[in-house]
Amino acid sequence: MAVVDAERLVTLVAAIFEAAGCAPMEAAAIGRYLTEANLTGHDSHGVARVQRYVDWLAEGKVEAGKSVTAIVDTPSLAVLDGHYGFGQTVGPQAVKIGIAKAKAQGLAAVALRHAGHLGRIGDFAEMAAAEGLVSIHFVNVVGSILVAPFGGVDRRISTAPYCIGVPRPGAAPLLLDFATSLVAEGKVLVASMGGKPVPPDALIAPDGSKSGDPAVLYGPYPQGPGTRDPMRGPGAIRAFGEHKGSGLAFMCEILGGALTGAGTTGPDKRFCNGMMSIYVDPRVVDPDGFFPAECADYVAYYKSARPVEAGGEVLVPGEAEQRSKAKKLKDGIPLSDGTWDSIVATARRLGLDDAHIRAALR
Ligand code: NAD
């Protein structure tokens, strides 16, 4: 295991993407967002993706230096095309537009199509919450067919994440942010590189049996670093929450994919994220200022439930991420050997020297 310093990891990842052809601002944003995912405990959407993003850039699957353009622009609605630019560039651009419209109108919706991989959707809800806004995000992953619907064995859905952020004065936002698959694909990726294993029922083999073996998703793959292609495996990830989770995933495809114009997932489609976002200004909805105190009271009431296990605790959405971030900022970010080796191999391939690479280590 390697332990890295967060700020120095941002610098290293930024240097890798500059060497790969991104402008400094875009490279820095990729470094910051990927590192933030590791900090918040979502290694699946963190620097384990460096090698894959660099490969995608080289293959033209994602494009450097793109900006969103508006297809529809009304006071309360924008439909935006991300032109397959890096999600870490076009994602925040779309959110900024949503924030400005919601602040002016009290309510706004933004449909973003053709975004490169948007990574951790919670980043965008946090951006809106920092401006005092509630936000809801329905996302799909076009061209990525990884998940079997409830009652089915074959892949028909993406990991289609869903996210809600709620601002709290003087406290971190309430943040529900998850893939509608039983585990995010990146968690299977991390497990395949020697990181935390996925639950034994997270995947489904073609014969309908449940499994936790990453090879069900990737097919046979090399140990340590090396390409993992989730389209090569025979099986699928299971949708979370039985018929209810599968139904939510379906609606993420319909709203994040069909309504945005990104398209629902399916075979032979170019990879991108579609994201349908709704922004609400609670100050407009709630002129009497009832909402913040009621949220605070409910958080306390919710958390007062007796824990199932002695010493356990009830957490509200977003709390696990805040705790993870505080710990990793202090103690460093642990990366599995497979993840660290894949970063080192990618950095070397792009001509970065070893001293530069090792500077990220604690
Ligand atoms: P997860 O299973 O870790 O669930 C995270 C959610 O559960 C958070 O809201 C968290 O606060 C809450 N939570 C965690 N532990 C808890 C506890 N003990 N008690 C109460 N609540 C708790 O997340 P995931 O499904 O693995 O998703 C990981 C990330 O992947 C997300 O950030 C998601 O946006 C991202 N994602 C992105 C894409 C994409 O295409 N861009 C696709 C899929 C997932």
Instruction: Report the separation in Å between the CA atom of 351 and the middle of ligand 1, taken as the mean of its atom positions.
Output: 35
Ligand 1 atom at minimum distance from 45 CA: 30
Query: Is there an atom of ligand 1 within 6 Å of 179 CB?
Result: yes
Kindly give the confidence (pLDDT) of every residue in the chain, 362 residues in length, as a single tens digit, with 9 standing for 90 and above: 999 999 999 999 999 999 999 999 999 999 999 999 999 999 989 999 999 999 999 999 999 999 999 999 999 999 999 999 999 999 999 999 999 999 999 999 999 999 999 999 999 999 999 999 999 999 999 999 999 999 999 999 999 999 999 999 999 999 999 999 999 888 898 899 888 899 999 999 999 999 999 999 999 887 766 678 888 899 999 999 999 999 999 999 999 999 999 999 999 999 999 999 999 999 999 999 999 999 999 999 999 999 999 999 999 999 999 999 999 999 999 998 989 999 999 999 999 999 999 999 99
The residue to which tokens 């699928």 are assigned: 236
The residue to which tokens 């990927």 are assigned: 34
pLDDT score recorded for residue 67: 98
Amino acid type, 66: K
> Which residue has its alpha carbon closest to ligand 1 atom 1?
178
Ligand 1 atom at minimum distance from 121 CA: 34
Query: Is there an atom of ligand 1 within 6 Å of 178 CB?
Result: yes
Instruction: Find the DSSP H helices in 193-336.
Output: 215-218, 242-252, 282-285, 290-303, 319-331
Ligand 1 atom at minimum distance from 159 CA: 43
For residue 111, the SS3 value is strand
pLDDT score recorded for residue 189: 85
The phi-psi region of residue 66 (left if phi > 0; otherwise alpha if psi is between -120 and 50; otherwise beta) is beta
Instruction: Report the separation in Å between the CA atom of 136 and the middle of ligand 1, taken as the mean of its atom positions.
Output: 14
Instruction: Report the separation in Å between the CA atom of 27 and the middle of ligand 1, taken as the mean of its atom positions.
Output: 25
Query: Is there an atom of ligand 1 within 6 Å of 320 CB?
Result: yes
CA distance 240 to 201: 10
Query: Is there an atom of ligand 1 within 6 Å of 78 CB?
Result: no
Query: Is there an atom of ligand 1 within 6 Å of 101 CB?
Result: no
> Which pTM value belongs to this model?
0.96
Range 119-134 burial, b when 16+ CB lie within 10 A, else e: bbbbbbbbbbbebbbb
Query: Of 3.30.70.20, 3.30.300.30, 3.50.50.60, 1.10.1530.10, which CATH number belongs to 2-59+332-358?
Result: 1.10.1530.10
Instruction: Report the separation in Å between the CA atom of 355 and the middle of ligand 1, taken as the mean of its atom positions.
Output: 35
Contact criterion met (CB below 8 Å) for 343 and 356: no
Query: Is there an atom of ligand 1 within 6 Å of 141 CB?
Result: yes
Enumerate residues 6+ apart whose C-beta is below 8 A from 27. Answer: 13, 14, 15, 16, 17, 18, 20
Query: Is there an atom of ligand 1 within 6 Å of 321 CB?
Result: yes
CA distance 222 to 207: 24
Mutate to test the pocket of ligand 1, among 38, 39, 177 (most ligand atoms within 8 A of CB): 177
Instruction: Report the separation in Å between the CA atom of 318 and the middle of ligand 1, taken as the mean of its atom positions.
Output: 9
Query: Is there an atom of ligand 1 within 6 Å of 38 CB?
Result: no
For the chain, give every domain's residue range: 2-59+332-358, 69-181+239-285
CA distance 307 to 8: 38
Q: 69-181+239-285 has which CATH code?
A: 3.30.1370.60
Instruction: Report the separation in Å between the CA atom of 137 and the middle of ligand 1, taken as the mean of its atom positions.
Output: 13
